[in-house]
């Protein structure tokens, strides 16, 4: 399946812009990078709280029932079934410790790729 994570590219652009602001890459200090990293983490948290996809993991697909995660052009995280492509089921995978997720449709455990 196709995996799309447009926000990863946006993150890379944000990092590139930050480096440009700082001038030469050698002017960027560890402190700058730490600040940037914590800023990105805060943004990802905010995106998730708004129902968006933060691009910090792969999109999921349930091997049992075929439920798929996808990201809309507005950045919202949705799930859909192969029989109704692009139609949000309203279900969301439940995040468990250690990169595991539970399928909300059939209860199967799903691992990130
Ligand atoms: Zn499932």
Query: What is the pTM for the complete model shown?
Result: 0.66
Percent of the chain surpassing pLDDT 90: 61
User: How many angstroms separate the alpha carbon of residue 4 from the centre of ligand 1?
Assistant: 20
Distance CA 83, CA 12 (A): 34
* pLDDT given for residue 19 in this prediction: 67
Contact 67, 61 (CB under 8 A): yes
User: How many angstroms separate the alpha carbon of residue 86 from the centre of ligand 1?
Assistant: 17
User: How many angstroms separate the alpha carbon of residue 38 from the centre of ligand 1?
Assistant: 34
User: How many angstroms separate the alpha carbon of residue 68 from the centre of ligand 1?
Assistant: 9
* pLDDT given for residue 55 in this prediction: 87
Confidence grade of residue 64 (pLDDT, cut at 50, 70, 90): very high
User: How many angstroms separate the alpha carbon of residue 45 from the centre of ligand 1?
Assistant: 25
Judge whether residue 2 has pLDDT over 60: no
User: How many angstroms separate the alpha carbon of residue 44 from the centre of ligand 1?
Assistant: 26
Distance CA 55, CA 7 (A): 5
* pLDDT given for residue 99 in this prediction: 85
């Amino acid at each position: 399946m196709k995996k799309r994570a447009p926000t990863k590219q946006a993150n890379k652009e944000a990092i590139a812009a930050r480096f440009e602001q700082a001038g030469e890459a050698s002017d960027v200090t560890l402190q700058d990078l730490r600040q940037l990293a914590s800023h990105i983490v805060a943004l990802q948290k905010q995106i998730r709280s708004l129902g968006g996809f933060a691009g910090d993991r792969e999109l999921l697909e349930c091997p049992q029932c075929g439920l798929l995660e996808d990201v809309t052009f507005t950045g919202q995280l949705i799930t859909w079934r192969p029989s109704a492509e692009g139609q949000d089921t309203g279900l969301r995978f439940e995040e468990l410790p250690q990169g595991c997720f539970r399928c909300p449709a059939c209860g199967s455990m799903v691992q990130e790729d």
